[in-house]
Structure formats: C-alpha cells, structure tokens
C-alpha cells in the first residue's frame, strides 16, 4: 500500500468537498483496501465515510424500504424490517461474500463499485429501486452505466437506496466456486401489475430479461421461463463459465427464483 492522507469528515457536504483529484471515498473497504494493498489503486487521500451516522440505517413504511449507503450487508441480512417487507433482499445480503465481508461491506460501496458479479445491482434493477445521492435521485437505468462504471460524478456520494416492496420476489445466485461472487444471479420480482427479472454476473453489467418478464407477467410460474433460451452474445466468458454456460444458467436460475418466490 502506498502512503495517503486520511480524512474522517463529519458531514456529507464536507466529504463531497474533499472528493476531488486522486481522492477516494472509503466505505467498508472490502474492495478499495484490497486494490490498495495490491498497489492497483494508490489514492492521494482517503475520505472515510465511517463517521457519517445518518448514512447508516434502515427505514420502512411497509411499502418502501430505504437503506442508508453505509449500512453493512450483515445489518440488511439480519434486519427484521427488511425480512418482513422484502425477504428476498435480506436473503441476498446474506449471500454476499463471507461473514467478515458482510460485517464491513456496505450497500453504497457495492453499488458505487458496480462489479459485474456483485449481488446488490440485481436487487436494485430487479425492483426498480431509486439510488439517492447528495445531488439527485437516479433510476437503475440511469445509474448503472457499464462494467465498474456508474453515473456517479467524482464528488457525488450515494446516501441511500430506496426499494419499492414487491408482492413477492426471490434471488437465486450461482456462485463462482472460488470467489463466491455471482457467476449468474437472477432477481425476480412480482409487483402484481408487472414483473421484473434482473440478471447479474452474466454480462458486463446487470441487465433485465424482457422475454422472461413478459412470460412471467402472463403467468408467474417456473414453466413460463424454463424453456426460454437466453442468447449468449455479449455475455461474460472466463475460466469458470463460458458465455454458453452462463446463458444456460440464466434460465435455470430464473426458473429456480420463480419457484422460490412462490414458496
């Protein structure tokens, strides 16, 4: 790790003012600290968001769940509110990494990082959540730009994410055997009038599967998606899974997600 200047601002405003040039915001450090240790990133300044109490915490009115950016994965996984209103979201948070990662990692950090294999993006896109920053409110389509890229400006800080509660939903994740990130993760959410299907891990960035959404809107049942063949064009291909295998897994995971949502 290279040397850097450490800041621990006490307001979002102060944090945003520091966020310029080669400075980096620090949330749970589960991505950033690793890249610094490997000397892949060498920020001049670290702006620790750890003191910003109002960025952490979960609020729910039964229709919407709003999660502060600094809320740890473990807190979402164990939250009674989340479990009651959107159990699929609590379950998703409980599938991220391992105990240590969940104790430190945050939803804001995960979304800002936008790893193509991360789990939260599937929930955000799958439920059409709103990403709230110190500057504006963004829909998932506006927020997720591409592999490891988002709409965030350098001095823009995610403050919270607001999830509308679906009627029923489920997230099924096929884990990379080594890293345990998603090779394919499918979030299925039934809002009654519409169904959303979001896929993470398979492509360079989280995406919706329109054909499945249509079929499920007509009939919310596993057999509606079981025979939908997903095209492998543009899907990721690596040591662990070819594009062909990923395409196949999207269908299998979607089917299992619908099964789980119906349970």
Partner 1 sequence: MGAPLIGARVERKEDYRFLTGAGQYTDDVELPRQSYAVFVRSPHAHAILKKISLDQARKAPGFIAAYTGEDFAAAKLGGLPCGWLITDVNGQPMKEPPHPCLAQGKVRHVGDQVAIVIAETSAQARDAAELVAVDYKVLPAVVDGAKARAKGAPQLHDIAPDNTCYVWAIGDKAVADAAFAKAAHVTKLEFINNRLIPNAMEPRVANGAYSRADDSYTLYVASQNPHVERLLMTAFVMGLPEHKVRVVAGDVGGGFGSKIYLYAEDVAVTWAAKQVNRPVKWTSDRSEAFLTDAHGRDHHTVAELAMDKDGKFLAMRVKTTANVGAYLSTFASCVPTILYATLLAGQYKTPVIHCEVTAVFTNTTPVDAYRGAGRPEATYVVERLVETAAREMKLDPAEIRRRNFITEFPYQTPVALQYDIGDYNATMDAAQQLADVAGFSKRKEESVKKGKLRGLGYAAYIEACGIAPSAVAGSLGARAGLFEAGEVRVHPTGSVTVFTGSHSHGQGHETTFAQVVADRLGIGIDSVDIVHGDTSKVLFGMGTYGSRSIAVGGTAIVKALDKIVAKGKKIAAHLLEAAETDVVYDRGIYKVAGTDKQKTFGEVAFAAYVPHNYPHDKLEPGLNENAFYDPANFTFPAGTYVCEVEVDPETGVVKIDKFTAVDDFGKIINPMIVEGQVHGGLTQGIGQALTESCQYDATGQLLTGSFMDYCLPRATDVPFYQVDTRETPCTHNPLGVKGCGEAGAIGAPAALMNAITDALGVKDMPMPATPQAVWKVLNNKQAA
Contacting positions for partner 1 (CB under 8 A): 1-2, 38-39, 174, 177-179, 239-242, 245, 248-249, 252
Whichever of 122 and 249 has its CB closer to partner 1, that residue is: 249
Closest CA to 222 of 246, 186, 174: 186
Q: Does 68 bind ligand FAD (CB under 6 A)?
A: no
Q: Which does 56 bind (CB under 5 to 8 A by kind): partner 1, ligand FAD, none?
A: none
Among 16, 91, 152, 254, binds ligand FAD (CB under 6 A): 152
Q: Which does 158 bind (CB under 5 to 8 A by kind): ligand FAD, partner 1, none?
A: ligand FAD
Among 143, 171, 181, 220, binds ligand FAD (CB under 6 A): 181
Q: How far is the CB of 15 from ligand FAD (least distance, A)?
A: 9
Q: Which does 32 bind (CB under 5 to 8 A by kind): partner 1, ligand FAD, none?
A: ligand FAD
Q: How far is the CB of 241 from partner 1 (least distance, A)?
A: 5
Structure tokens at 109: 């950090």
Q: Does 112 bind ligand FAD (CB under 6 A)?
A: yes
Beta strand pairing call for 137-138 and 58-60: unpaired
Q: Does 79 bind ligand FAD (CB under 6 A)?
A: no
Q: Does 18 bind ligand FAD (CB under 6 A)?
A: no
Q: Does 106 bind ligand FAD (CB under 6 A)?
A: yes
């Amino acid at each position: 790790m290279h040397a850097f200047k450490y800041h621990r601002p006490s307001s979002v405003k102060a944090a945003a003012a520091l966020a310029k040039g080669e400075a980096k915001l620090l949330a749970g450090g589960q991505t950033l600290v690793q890249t610094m240790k490997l000397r892949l990133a060498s920020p001049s300044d670290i702006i620790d968001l750890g003191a910003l109490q109002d960025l952490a915490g979960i609020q729910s009115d039964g229709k919407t769940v709003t999660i502060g950016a600094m809320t740890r994965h473990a807190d979402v996984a164990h939250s009674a509110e989340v479990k009651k209103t959107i159990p699929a979201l609590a379950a998703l948070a409980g599938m991220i990494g391992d105990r240590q990662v969940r104790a430190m990692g945050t939803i804001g950090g995960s979304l800002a990082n936008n790893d193509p294999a991360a789990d939260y993006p599937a929930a955000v896109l799958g439920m059409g959540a709103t990403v709230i920053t110190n500057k504006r409110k963004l829909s998932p389509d506006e927020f997720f730009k591409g592999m490891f890229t988002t709409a965030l400006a350098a001095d823009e800080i995610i403050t919270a994410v607001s999830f509308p509660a679906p009627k029923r939903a489920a997230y099924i994740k096929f884990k990379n055997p080594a890293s345990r990130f998603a090779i394919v993760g499918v979030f299925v959410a039934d809002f009654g009038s519409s169904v959303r299907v979001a896929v993470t891990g398979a492509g360079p960035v989280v995406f919706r599967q329109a054909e499945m959404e249509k079929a499920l809107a007509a009939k919310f049942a596993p057999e509606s998606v079981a025979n939908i063949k997903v095209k492998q064009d543009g899907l990721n291909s690596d040591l662990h899974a070819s594009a062909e295998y990923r395409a196949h897994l999207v269908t299998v995971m979607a089917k299992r997600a619908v099964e789980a949502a119906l349970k």
